[in-house]
Structure formats: C-alpha cells, structure tokens
Structure 1
Amino acid sequence: MALTDTVSAEPTNSALPAARHTTSPTPRGPLSDRILTLVRREPLGDDALDGTTDLAALASVAVQRSSDIVHDDDIQLALFALYGLHYGSLADAHDGWEWHPHLISARRVLEAAFETQLRRDVEVPEIPEPTAAAVAETLFALTGAETDGPSLSRFVAAKATREQLEELLIHRSIYTLREADPHSWAIPRLTGRPKAALVEIQADEYGGGRPERMHATIFAGTMRGLGLDDSYGAYLDYVPAVTLASLNMMSMFGLNRRLRGAIAGHLAAFEMTSSIPSGLYARGFRRNGFDDDVCWYYDEHVEADAVHEQIAGRDLAGGLAEDEPELLADILFGAAACLTVDGWASAVIVEAWLAGESALRMPRATSIANGA
C-alpha cells in the first residue's frame, strides 16, 4: 500500500468481519499434546474413559521438569489451551470441557508454578499510601522509568523492515486479536469507582458500540494490510513460549478473583505504556510505505491510551487501593509483572532482529507472508 498525503478521519480497514477462530496449534510436549488431543473430543462423562484422572499429576511432572515456566513451550501452550476453553479460542475444542474438574485441577497446578515464578522474578516497587493520588504517582513513576536494553518500538520506528513488521504483528496477534478480553474478566469482580473506570476503558476498547471500531477488529485490518491471516491463532505455532506467557498471565490474573488487584494493576501499566510506543510503531509502518488504513490501530491508541492511562491509574488502580487497601501489593505486582513479562517478550524479538535473524520459532514462507 502506498503512503497517502491525506489523513482519513476514519480509515476503513476494519470493514470486513472480525477475526475468526482457527484450529488448535501443534503440541509442544507431552502435556500440551495430551490436553489438545483431549479437548478435541466430546466428553464421555466418565473420567476413566475420558482419560482425565491423571491430568493434575501430568501437570505436576511438567512443572518439576521445567527450569523456567515462563519460557517453557509445553507448559505455556498447555495453559493457553486451558484458558482457551473459557475464551473459545480453539475452534475445534468441545465446549463440554470448559469446567471439567480434572482440567481445572491441572490448570491450578500450572498457575501455582507460574505465579510463584512471577512473584520471585518480578521486582515490585515500594508500597505507597493507599490513596488514589499516591498509587497513581507510583504507577506513573514505575512505567516512566528507563529500562535496560533496546526499545522494540524505537527499533520499529527507525529500522524495522516489512518482514519484521509482519513478525511484530504475528507476535502481537496472540493478544491483540482478542484485545481487552482478559481484563474484562475483572468487571464483575470490582464494585463502585474501580468498576466504573474499568467499564469506561473497556467500552472504548470494544468500539463504543460500533463493531467496526473494536480494537481487535482494527488490528485484524492491519494484519490484512500486510497480507497476513487474521484468523485467531493462525500463527500460534510461530510464537515462542514467552509470547504466550504474556497473554496467559493476563488470563490468570483476570480469571482468579483473588488476583483482581493484579489485573487492575496490569491494565494500568498496560495503558500507561501504550500511547508513546504506538506513535513509534505507526512511524515505522509509514516509513515502510503503509497508509492510514494500516496505521489506524496504532494511531487510535496514541490518543485513546493517553486518556485511558489517567483513568486506569487514578480511578481503577487508585480507586481500588482506596476501597480495598489489602489489594495494594497485588496492584503493584500486576503492574510490575506487565512491564517485566512484556519486556522479556519484546527482548526476544529485538535480540533476534539485531542478530539478523527471525523472531519466530520456525521459518515462514514468503508467499504466506505476502498473502500470495
């Protein structure tokens, strides 16, 4: 697409239907193989016949054998599949498995190990006073701090090639094609001011009642603009464990009521670190000759997230800390975990590109990349 001279008030790249769901990914080890094979069948209603009685034990074995849960392909894909039962992310998974007790037991084993590692490895700032102003100040300081290593958004703005832009969208598609859904789990878990703040943010994420303006739909249009498949999960096999871990962490925070502080903090950090990078991403796409339709997703976030960060920091996270001070430590943990895990995922991409390599797990045919 050629770069145009006029800026459209409302680009049209999302006029087509939102992303569809695709089939299950390829297993990455014995645990994900077992789960993916299982959920494709209809439950028989007999645990012994279904072969579910040892799932928690199998999950425990996977955890014991893993030296790094965040970067463990088998565990992160297994978690993705288990969470996918709640989202409907796996088109060929039978709905009857969603609340199966042995699958939930296996998920709890994996979640416990995942959360333990995050709490060990994520550096959380000093706890402030439980006031909206103090919490917001702490979060803005946390998200505004300089980070070690090269910046993904600055690399994209200045250096990324078309092929690297495609890889960026492939990594980001794992979350962004279902943007806002993990945080929406928190809506019924909150009350009052924090709940109203979250709903205000989410209403924008879902297009304010206009399906063509849903952020996931706009992102799907960006993918199509680069000739990529916008079906949800089309590129699951290509992304590493840490990319899955980023979404799995959101799902874990959102689906567990006891972690409602963490999901609120996560969203606050997510919004506070979106506006400026989105502008840099848009610059990188335009530098490669893409027009406003392709850049719409990032242009939208420059403006929207500049507003959202204030609501998320003061009314959502800060309001929740005032209402439930006992959640303040988790609010800061969720914010710090967002920055840390997304930093790990971005580092994988930038380090590969700086080395002149692909940031994907396996080669991707050019004909597929260019939509031929």
Structure 2
Amino acid sequence: MTTAENASAHRPGPILPAGRGELSHAVLRTLRTRPGGEHTLPSGRAVDGADPYGEDLHLALYVCYELHYRGFQGADPGWEWNPELLGLRAGLERRFLDALRTDTGAAPRSVDEAFAGILVEPADGKGLSHFLRDEGELWQLREYAAQRSLYHLKEADPHAWVIPRLRGRAKAGMVAVEFDEFGAGAADRMHSRLFADLMTDLGLDTTYGRYVDVAAAEMLASVNLMSLFGLHRALRGALVGHFAAVEVTSSPASRRLAEAMRRADAGAAAVHFYAEHVEADAVHEQVVRREVVGGLLEDEPWLEADVAFGIEATNLLDARLGGMTLSAWRRGRSSLRVPQGS
C-alpha cells in the first residue's frame, strides 16, 4: 500500500452519503474509485438539464465541496484537485450561479438598498425563528438543529477562504470576527463546539456530516452558497455580502431561538448557543458593515454590485429554506427527507 493509499484508508471523515439522482450518484460512484482509474462523470447536457435548486445537483456539489474540508472515508484525497471532477464542479456551479443571478436580477444593486431590506425587521414577523419562538415544539427544534448542523459544525470555515483575498480594513475586520467565531483561541468556545453541545442537549448525533442524508435540498443549497462564494476569488465581494447578511440578521433571530429553546426546556447548552450569538453578533454586525464591507468598497468600489448580490442571494435561499420548513410543519409533517423521531 502506498503512503497516499494508507492515509486514505485511515483518514477520518464522514461517510459518503447516498445519491439522489444521476449527478450525485455519478460523483459518489467516482469517489469510490482511484484518481486516474476508469470512471464516467455526467455530461454537460446532464448538468444543464438539472434543477438548479434541486437535491441531485446540490448533493453532487456539496460532496465536491466537502473534499476541500474534511473529505470522506474511503475517498482518495487526490480527488480534491482532480481536473475532471473540478470540471464537473464548475458546470454545477455555473448552473446554480446562473439561477441565482436570474432570480435576484430585479434586486437592488447598491449595498445600501440591499441592506435596507434586512436592517429593519417587520413588526409582524412570520419567519422560521418567529414560529419556533411562539409555537415550535421540541421535535421541530431538533429538526431545525439537524438541518443547520451541515453548516454550524464547521461554522466560520467557509468564510475563512476570503481572508487572503482581502486587504487593509476589510481583512482586519474579517479576521477579528472570525477570531470570535473560532472561540478567541479557546477550543471549547468555538461556535462549532457550542453547536455540538446544543445538539447533545437535543439528543442529536454530533458526528460531522451525520445529517446530510436527511437534509433538504434547500439546506444543501444554503451551505453550498458559502463554499461557492468562498472558493472563488472572483466572488469575494459576494462572500462579503453573504457574511454581512448573516451577521446583520443573526442577533435578533438568535434572541428568538434562545427563547424557543428556553420555552421547550431544551437544555442549558441549547439556550447558550443562541444567547451567545445575541450579543456577539450585534457587535459583529457593526464590524462587518463598517470595516469589512466599508473597507472592501473603499479599496474596490467596483465590487459593490457583487456585495449586493451576495446579500440578495443569501436572502433568497434563506426564504426558500424557511418557506419549505414552515410549509411542512404547518401540515404536521417533517421538514427532513427522513423523520428522525420525536
């Protein structure tokens, strides 16, 4: 056994999920082989015909992106930079990105206009966090956490890709916020660790990637957006916009979710995760808006439309995820592909 083969055989990481269609089945089948061996990846026509928001495309894209994070058990690390797989990934990204640009085409192109839609919350808010605060049951909080674990168990990682692509105030501000997200140097205070503690309180499995197989297409798309923006220097403005949208909306939503966890008696760690974000993200919002966004546009004002696009694309996918979840719950059904029990 070669050194690379030995490393792959003992490499920790999540198990490969089950496929959901032609694209994802082909990618998963390929990852079970060795780079340079015989394999058949989907054609460009198959990619062009896929639903840009569908679970097949987004599972395939999610799996491709995860090769840049923790990889998978049994998947050779050499697949991370394999030209053929990267070519397929580029096609999947184009399909997704084209749909996002089309569906946000009428959106504001200035950052101020984009922020205007999220800085002031409506008095009669009816979003997902409002529902969970006011009437959410423990099983719904568990489903919410299971879905969100796809991101929160690697919280801050996708945004870290943009750091070497920024400079000056934007870089300093981004690093300051990321430092807090990573626990300010204390492993037990990393936000990914705090979310794992929340999951434990809710009786969920904290294994990284455990809930990929049950996560909805809308959740996969939201997580993929971060990696799409983060892995491409050309999309650095969109990543900053995405990060700003997350930080601006996080504090009030976290307050409602902390109240939801208290009302359901979910546990101290479950409450703490969101209570921690109420104060921290209120501060982060100011740093991101003034230093990260402000610094970037001071250095590269031509990226304003990209920052606005990042904000609007984030809002679009959040609305799709929230709408799908609430629609399922109001019909008394699970928002997961496979219910996980009460």
Work out the CA distance in 1 between the residues paired with 2:295 and 2:109: 15
Q: Where does residue 110 of structure 1 map in the other structure?
A: 92
Q: Where does residue 65 of structure 2 map in the other structure?
A: 83
Question: How far off its partner does 1:73 sit?
Answer: 1.2
Question: How far off its partner does 1:125 sit?
Answer: 4.5
Question: How far off its partner does 1:139 sit?
Answer: 4.8
How many pairs were matched up? Answer: 330
Q: Where does residue 4 of structure 2 map in the other structure?
A: none
Equivalent of 2:141, from 146, 159, 165?
Answer: 165
Alignment check: 8 A CA contact 1:31 1:59 kept: no
Work out the CA distance in 1 between the residues paired with 2:217 and 2:197: 25
Alignment check: 8 A CA contact 1:60 1:110 kept: no
Q: 1:84-233, aligned counterparts within 5 Å?
A: 84-122=66-104, 125-128=107-110, 135=111, 137-144=112-119, 150-233=126-209
Deviations 1:81-138 (A, max 9, x none): 100111124333221110000000000011111100000002565444xxxxxx4x54
> Counterpart of 1:233 in structure 2: which amino acid?
G
Q: Where does residue 73 of structure 1 map in the other structure?
A: 55
Tell me the secondary structure at the aligned position of residue 81 of structure 2. coil
Deviations 1:294-321 (A, max 9, x none): 2111011001100011111111112111
5+ residue gaps, structure 1, are 1-19, 129-134
Alignment check: 8 A CA contact 1:242 1:341 kept: yes
Residues 103 and 114 of structure 1: CA distance in aligned 2, closer, same or farther (over 3 Å): same
> Counterpart of 1:175 in structure 2: which amino acid?
Y
> Counterpart of 1:39 in structure 2: which amino acid?
L
Q: Where does residue 9 of structure 1 map in the other structure?
A: none
Q: Where does residue 61 of structure 1 map in the other structure?
A: 45
2:18 maps to 1:34: no
Work out the CA distance in 2 between the residues paired with 1:257 and 1:327: 12
2:38 maps to 1:50: yes
2:311 maps to 1:323: no
Residues 74 and 149 of structure 1: CA distance in aligned 2, closer, same or farther (over 3 Å): farther
> Counterpart of 1:144 in structure 2: which amino acid?
L
Work out the CA distance in 2 between the residues paired with 1:238 and 1:327: 37
Question: How far off its partner does 1:37 sit?
Answer: 1.9
Q: Where does residue 8 of structure 1 map in the other structure?
A: none
Alignment check: 8 A CA contact 1:150 1:350 kept: no
5+ residue gaps, structure 2, are 1-11
Q: Where does residue 310 of structure 2 map in the other structure?
A: 334
Residues 166 and 59 of structure 1: CA distance in aligned 2, closer, same or farther (over 3 Å): farther
Percentage of identical aligned residues:
44
Work out the CA distance in 2 between the residues paired with 1:162 and 1:89: 32
Tell me the secondary structure at the aligned position of residue 332 of structure 2. coil
RMSD of equivalent CA atoms: 1.8
Work out the CA distance in 2 between the residues paired with 1:124 and 1:263: 20
